[in-house]
Structure 1
Amino acid sequence: MKLATQISRTVFLLGIVSLLNDLAGELIMAVLPVFLVSLGSSGWVVGLIGGLEDATKSLLSLVFGGLADRLGRKKPLVFLGYLIPSVFRIALPFSTHWAMALVFRVLDRVGKGMRTAPRDALIADAVTEPTRGANFGFHRAMDTAGALVGSLLAFVFFWWLHLPLTGIILVGGLVSLASLIPLSFVSESVSAVQHRKLFDGLRELPKKFYLNLAGMTLFALANFSYMFFLLKVNAVYTDKLAVGLPIAMYALYNFTYTFCALPAGVLSDSIGRRAILLMGYLLFGVTSLGFAFAQSLVLFVPLFALYGIAYAFIESTQRAFAADLAPPERRGTALGLFHMCIGFGALVGSFIAGVLWGGPDSSHALTFFYGAALAMVGVAFLALTARWE
């Protein structure tokens, strides 16, 4: 079967939405760590913000994933979930203290939490299991293509057009509104309203779902915020390079992620989700270990490329894996619980990474040793769950 015929119209349109939204989001995220530093934040604040973003998104994913199952409709929640972040992205550049930025970023993640599980359930419902990996991989590739373009534009805006960080963030907020246009053309099949409570849906999820979720959550503890990788580059260089090179490395990460996400999804349809996830976790562990020693572009360039490949193997495959393990009528709830557990794992992981970061004169190696060690624990646990199911 040709790849083009495997991608559904719904997934294609949602891919366009994600491309535009992530173009806007990555304009912001590429400069966010340095913007936070300019507002007086430190390593632990960056870890706190990164973790709270993920935790807010993920806790609400469970709530709204379950709500989507009960309402029998997903698109209205997805629409609101894209609208709300646009508002607070426009507000972000007007922050005068890191605490204001924290509030705006958390409110941005409220919208993401509202849309993520319903959107992923919408994707899973639109395709069959034999092509689910390809469709999730396509969606992640479109998502990351937007991230790639956004991070490249951030570099161009800062390095050549000399826009201030606040100007780059404001452009991102305005572009975010445009992502709502293709979403209006997405259609969905409405199912019957369900009157069961959220916890009833959680009890109906199978044992194998919870076992594999435990393994993925363990890895999430290692998967601290991307901002620490950028801050490592920022700490090594001075002057304009301290801002420009982290943006360039972030663009490289997004480049490799974009071009590997779809092949990784297709491969997971062929050899299985677990095998691809284990490879992704291993690659992340190697990457994190490398960052513990990296002090120049000779290592930063291949490590950021490897970071992107690892994420391509992990992100789309985890979602497809969780969707495969859940019954169709409980898919929103299952994906919501998945995002909640991953997010809280990331909160704890980012907090620990921030504590281990050290002062301005530190090599920051402990943060990356921690990530490498926990990644290996996640690999071992996920490998063993195949025997326990």
Structure 2
Amino acid sequence: MYLADRSTPQGAPSSAPDRVRGTVRAVSPTVLALGTVSLITDVSSEMVTAVLPLYLVMGLGLSPLGFGMLDGVQNGVSALVQLTGGHLADRVRNHKLIAGIGYGLSALCKPLLLVHNLGALGAALALDRTGKGLRTAPRDALISLSAPPERQGRAFGVHRAMDTTGALLGPMLAFLILGVAAGGYDAVFAVSGCVAALGVLVLLLFVPGGRRAVPAAEESAPGEGAGGPPRVDLRAAFGLLRTRRLRALFVCAVLLGLTTVSDAFLYLLVQRRTGIDEQLFPLLPLGTATVFLLLALPVGRLADRVGRRAVFLAGHAGLLLAYALLLWAPATPALPYLVLVLHGVFYAATDGVLPAAVAAVVPERLRASGIALVGTGQALARFCCSLAFGAAWAAWGDGPALAAAAASLACCAAVAGAALRPTGDPR
């Protein structure tokens, strides 16, 4: 079956003018406003993310296993909360409200980063991941509900491009602050909190919100009284897995997530493999972010035209090639650039494609729940990968650990390709 069904999903809006406008005019104001919020918020979060691995490992002396556990816990918390955020957004039919709570929580936890012990840092990161988990599915649901089905990839591509602009600016700002501020890491964390608060303000002022009406086509769900309001509960959300297309998406997202080494570990591997100076470490995410920014929109449009299966799998092939370069390529000056380019291609081909694919196969009343369900499975899988990779690094060393991850990714990609193969089954 295709990763994305390009037929119109239940309850999806569609308008003829959108089909003929240019790229910018075809994207709704809601998508642009959400992109602006994500841009600002990513400046804040990526400032912290850029310096955190080095701060924890080099500054606080955290072992690779300890860092893997902490990184995994972050992903695990975000994964578990993501399902809650999607369910609440569908239940109250107010996606902006739940997304706003998530953005606000991430901003409020930033002062805890100024406390210099692992307990406070762990609590701050857990709260930040809680906020991210709450906002992700409602935000993506708002994007999907603001675009016709044939332009889902474009809408997510525009949003991810704006989001990645923030991911590009964040490490640059962190690098500049580390170079000029006396407070060093504390100055980065303080500025990050102020920027996060600005993102919440933009959300409140410029993103349309309010309680959504029940779509007419979904007023009577199966098994409920005629004309009664459709029931939105966890049983209905998990019942989406009875749909073959969504079930295939879920299984493949989990399998591939189990073999996706986290960004932080990848950057540490690049630094160790090439001997990049520690002061330049915060700039490594810029390579990924730049490529992601340049390719997010064209790759999203490509996925709309050719289907999302090939694009999604090609992204994981790029990641596998990056692993191979880190394992076997000579340590030339070009190596970090090649790895980061492939890492950016991976994100451009997967990050927006997956929620666009989910949006095409779930009804509007459960849109956030469906996106959250697949996202939760993927994030929990990456949580397990972080724990396993950190343990493998501590036990075997970084090279054997990465070789095991690469072999596993190759096997899981082959399984995913078979599971997502085209079929005429309409279910």
TM-score band, normalised by shorter chain: over 0.9
Shift of 1:39: 1.8
* Deviation at residue 71 of structure 1 after TM alignment: 1.2
Match of 2:413 in 1: 379
Q: Which runs of 4+ in 1 moved over 6 A?
A: none
Match of 1:232?
Answer: 269
Deviation at 1:380, TM superposition (A): 1.3
Structure having the larger proportion of residues in helix: 1
The amino acid of 1:353's aligned partner reads F
Matching of residue 91 in structure 1 with residue 127 in structure 2:
no
* In 1, Cα distance between equivalents of 2:128 and 2:31: 23
Q: Residue in 1 aligned with 2:44?
A: 24
Q: Does 1:182 align with 2:218?
A: no
Of the candidates 150, 154, 162, which is equivalent to residue 142 of structure 1? Answer: 162
Task: Give a deviation string over 1:64-88, Cα, whole Å, max 9, x none.
Answer: 2112111111111011100001111
Deviates more, 1:78-87 or 1:155-164: 155-164
1:41 maps to a residue whose letter is L
Give TM-score, length-normalised by structure 1: 0.93
Which residue of structure 1 lines up, in the alignment, with residue 185 of structure 2? 165
Segments of 5+ residues of structure 1 without an aligned counterpart are: none
Aligned pair 1:33/2:67, yes or no? Answer: no
User: Which amino acid in the other structure matches residue 348 of structure 1?
Assistant: C
- Alignment partners' CA distance in 1, 2:230 and 2:135: 19
Equivalent positions of 1:260-271 (< 5 A) are 260-271=295-306
Deviations 1:27-56 (A, max 9, x none): 110000011121231111221122111111
Using the aligned pairs only, state the percent identity. 28
- Output the CA distance in 2 between the equivalents of 1:280 and 1:236: 23
Distance change in 2, residues 1:264/1:200 (3 Å): same
Tell me if 1:131 matches 2:151: yes
User: Are the aligned partners of 1:235 and 1:242 in contact in 2 as well (CA < 8 Å)?
Assistant: no
* Residue aligning to 1:358: 394
Query: Is it true that 1:216 corresponds to 2:253 in the alignment?
Result: yes
**Is 1:191 the equivalent of 2:213?**
yes
The number of equivalent residue pairs is 384
1:349 Cα deviation (Å)?
0.7
Query: 2:377 and 2:388 mapped to 1: Cα distance?
Result: 17
Q: By how many angstroms is 1:363 displaced?
A: 5.7
**Does the C-alpha gap of structure 1 residues 196 and 7 become closer, same or farther in structure 2, counting only changes over 3 Å?**
closer
Q: For 1:13, give the aligned amino acid.
A: A
Please name the residue that 2:379 is paired with.
Answer: 343
Structure 1 CA distance for aligned equivalents of residues 341 and 397 of structure 2 = 21
Counterpart in the other structure of 2:92: 71
Distance 1:333 1:245 in 2: 40
Among 68, 79, 92, which residue is 1:58 paired with?
79
Larger radius of gyration: 2
Q: Which moved more, 1:161-170 or 1:270-279?
A: 161-170
Cα distance between partner residues in 2 of 1:65 and 1:256: 29
Is 1:322 the counterpart of 2:358? The answer is yes
Residue pair 1:69, 1:194 contacting (<8 A) in 2 also? no
Note the C-alpha offset of 1:296.
5.2
Q: Distance in 2 between matches of 1:191 and 1:221?
A: 38
**What amino acid is the match of 1:175?**
V
What residue number does 1:299 align with? 335
* Cα separation, 2, equivalents of 1:162 and 1:286: 40
Does the 8 Å contact 2:42/2:167 carry over to 1?
A: yes
Aligned residue among 344, 357, 361 for 1:308 = 344
Does 1:121 find its partner at 2:141? yes
RMSD after superposition: 2.0
Post-superposition offset of 1:235: 3.3
Q: 13-22 vs 224-233, which deviates more?
A: 224-233
Amino acid at match of 2:239: R
Pick which of 281-290 and 186-195 moved more. Answer: 186-195
Confirm or deny: 8 A CA contact 1:64 1:117 kept in the other structure: yes
Q: 2:326 and 2:92 mapped to 1: Cα distance?
A: 46
Deviations 1:131-153 (A, max 9, x none): 11000011111111001011111
> Aligned residue for 1:10?
30
Give the aligned partner of residue 367 of structure 1.
401
**Partner residue, 1:104:** 124
For structure 2, the 5+ residue unaligned runs are 1-19, 215-228
- Tell me how far 1:162 sits from its aligned partner: 6.1
